[in-house]
Structure 1
Amino acid sequence: MFGSTSKGAHSYAKVGLETSVVAASPHKLIVMLYDGALVAVLSAQMHMKSGNIPEKGKAISKAIQIIDNGLRASLDKEVGGQIAEGLDALYEYMSARLLTANLKNDPAILEEIQGLLTELRDTWNAIGTAPAAMPGADLTSSRMPNLASA
């Protein structure tokens, strides 16, 4: 009569996410992108193990989209210099490996990418708790992608 509880919960969660994005600092947005990519990779692992090929493909595609259109797109190579260039190359590598994992149905590659994303997220979190950042150390632009479509 009033729709499913699942649909309502999904809508509520989406509003919560959108509110979090609007209120988040650029640093927190990067953490949210890492978290989103990790969730997508974990979902892909689960679907790969269960043999659900269509959902595995969707999850891997979502992870690639977050990495390419979120993390990579937010890099400011002019300000970030060699560090930003290195991150760009690493993000490109991760996207290519995810594509290979999808094509070859290789769970070891998903584990590799999960490890890289976890390490990057943990490092980014540690940077956020550092007392004072060095001038010019902001590696991301203030323009962030629309996460609602990710």
Structure 2
Amino acid sequence: MFGSMKSGANAYAKVGMETGVTSASPHKLIVMLFDGALVSVANAINHMKSKNVAEKGAAISKAILIIDSGLRAALDKKAGGEIANGLDGLYEYMGGRLLQANLKNELEPLEEVQKLLTDLRGAWNAIGDTPAAREAQGLAPSVPAQPPATSTFASA
């Protein structure tokens, strides 16, 4: 009569994730993309070691999707200049290494991408979500939604 507890927990987790995404700052969204890519690469490593070919391929595909459609797509090459262009090349390299890992069933490229993503996530996290960091990333600085209201009546 009732669905399984697992499906209820999954639905709850999905709502929690969606709420986290909608309320996250641009900085936090990038951290979430790094986390998702890292989970996918870790899953691919585990599936490769367990010889689960289909699951390995799905995990690698998900990691590539997050890197290409998430991290690379978020780059602002105009505002980010040389750094953004360097990251774009690095993300492209990671995608190639992930493809190689999948096609040749090699663990080493997965471990390399995992290390690169871990290092980048750490550096990104260290930047923080400060107004200066937001400006350096080409994002609008955080400002209050409304300035404080002032009275039009002079006080006597």
Q: TM-score, normalised by structure 2?
A: 0.85
Q: Deviations over 1:87-117 (max 9, x none)?
A: 0000000011000000011111110000000
* Aligned equivalent of 1:148: none
Counterpart in 2 of 1:11? 11
Structure 2 gaps of 5+ residues are: 141-156
Q: Unpaired runs of 5+ in structure 1?
A: 142-150
Distance in 1, matches of 2:133 and 2:83, equals: 14
Taking a change above 3 Å as real, the CA distance of residues 138 and 19 of structure 1, as seen in their structure-2 partners, is same
Aligned-pair identity in percent equals 65
The equivalent residue for 2:40 is 40
Distance (whole Å) between structure 2 residues aligned to residue 92 and residue 26 of structure 1: 22
d(CA) in 2 for partners of 1:2, 1:134: 48
**Matches of 2:59 and 2:139, distance apart in 1:** 25
Q: 2:45 touches 2:56 (CA, 8 Å); kept in 1?
A: yes
Say if 1:139 and 1:66 are closer, same or farther in 2 by CA, change over 3 A: farther
**Aligned partners of 2:41, 2:49: CA distance in 1, in Å?**
12
Question: For residues 39 and 70 of structure 1, do their structure 2 counterparts lie closer, same or farther at Cα, with a shift above 3 Å needed?
Answer: same
Rounded to whole Å, the distance in 1 between the matches of 2:75 and 2:96 is 18
Map of 1:147 onto structure 2: none
Q: 3-state DSSP class of the match of 2:136?
A: coil
The structural deviation recorded for 1:134 is 5.8
Corresponding residue number in structure 1 for 2:62: 62
Question: Structure 1's 139 and 117: CA in aligned 2 closer, same or farther, altered over 3 A?
Answer: farther
Q: How does 1:1-150 map onto structure 2 within 5 Å?
A: 1-128=1-128, 133=132, 136-138=135-137
Q: Distance between the aligned counterparts of 2:133 and 2:139, measured in 1?
A: 14
Larger RCO, structures 1/2 (Cα 8 Å, 6+ apart): 1
Q: Matched residues in 1 for 2:114 and 2:57: separation?
A: 16
Cα gap change, 1:34 to 1:139, in 2 (>3 Å): farther
Normalised by the length of structure 1, the TM-score is 0.88
Q: 1:122 to 1:135 in 2, by over 3 A?
A: closer
